[in-house]
Amino acid sequence: MADQLFDFGLIGLGVMGRNLLLNMADHGFAVIGYNRSPQKVTDLENEITPGTTVKGTSDLKLFVNSLKSPRRITMLVQAGKPVDDVLNELIPLLSKGDIIIDGGNSHYTDTLRRVQYMQEKGFHFMGMGVSGGEEGARRGPSIMPGGDPEAYPHVKPMLEAVSAKVNGEPCVAHLGKGAAGHYVKMVHNGIEYGIMQLISEVYDVLHRGYGLTNDELHQVFKEWNDGELQSFLVEITRDIFPKVDDKTGNRLVDMILDKAGSKGTGKWTSQDAMDLGISIPTIDIAVSMRNLSALKQ
């Protein structure tokens, strides 16, 4: 495998990156992953599906030189300065026309800046939202790419292959130039915040207001998920009610601290809507409720 050239490369072998890379390999693409941590490389190699072509390395130069031209590299690293740090390490190793995709939750203004910066140096840069979490990355996420339309045909077959499918159609589309992909992902996450807050309030009214037991709540959410309210969020809410806490024997939902964290994308949606003069009260309140819950001990 030492002299082999790979179809796609991925930087950042955390769970999301590792799963997405393995997903690519399962669909017939020869892939190589890079991480500075040798342990992350080992974790990747321990999960390779037999018969697929996957390599891991902690050598960035080897990683870049092992890719077919034009190089197609996806980054799944923490948003902010780490993305710029990786780009600055990559640039001296790249060739004109290479394609870099940021698959993390970068703010769209950062993506706009990077698109321009990379374009001036002769490279293609795309911002790409990935939805579905760790399991989605492995089995089929919803993918929201944006950026240079000239670059998209080079990555479209792979993205359509690894994406989730609905009625046989891939859950991926090029959403526009610049930072369109990351902008749509930001709004997507804001909408998700609103839906989760609605689910939380419905649970609270039915449980504390109407006195429904966990078994009764399970049945209510089951009926909703069997109808027009069917969704991943309703499904996982349905499934939590019967689960038992291993330590106490009580229902798990009754043992969970009512406290939510945040990565900031919902807040960005609210902030941008305010800047644009657009009213999104459901999302605004959902962001505020998350902030309030984060104060709980």
User: Is 185 annotated as catalytic?
Assistant: yes
Burial class (CB in 10 A: 0-12, 13-18, 19+), 223: exposed
Q: Which of 186, 116, 187, 128 is nearest to 162 (CA)?
A: 128
Residue indicated by tokens 């991480």? 35
| C-alpha of 130 from chain center | 3
- Between strands 142-147 and 124-131, the pairing is antiparallel
* DSSP string over 15-80: HHHHHHHHHHHHTT--EEEE-S-HHHHHHHHTTPPTT--EEEES-HHHHHHTBPSSPEEEE---SS
Q: CB–CB of 262/197 below 8 Å?
A: no
Other C-beta atoms lying within 10 Å of the C-beta of residue 286: 26
In contact, 103 and 128? CB cutoff 8 Å:
yes
Active-site hit among 40, 55, 185, 267: 185
Which of 156, 192, 223, 235 is flagged as catalytic? 192
If phi > 0 it is left, if psi is from -120 to 50 it is alpha, else beta; for residue 288 that is alpha
CA pair distance 149, 15, nearest whole angstrom: 29
Please name which of 120, 117, 61 lies closest in space to residue 94, comparing C-alpha atoms. 61
Three-state DSSP at 257 gives: coil
* Cis status, amide bond into 157, omega within 30 of 0: no
Residue 192 bears catalytic tag: yes
Q: Which residues are catalytic?
A: 185, 192
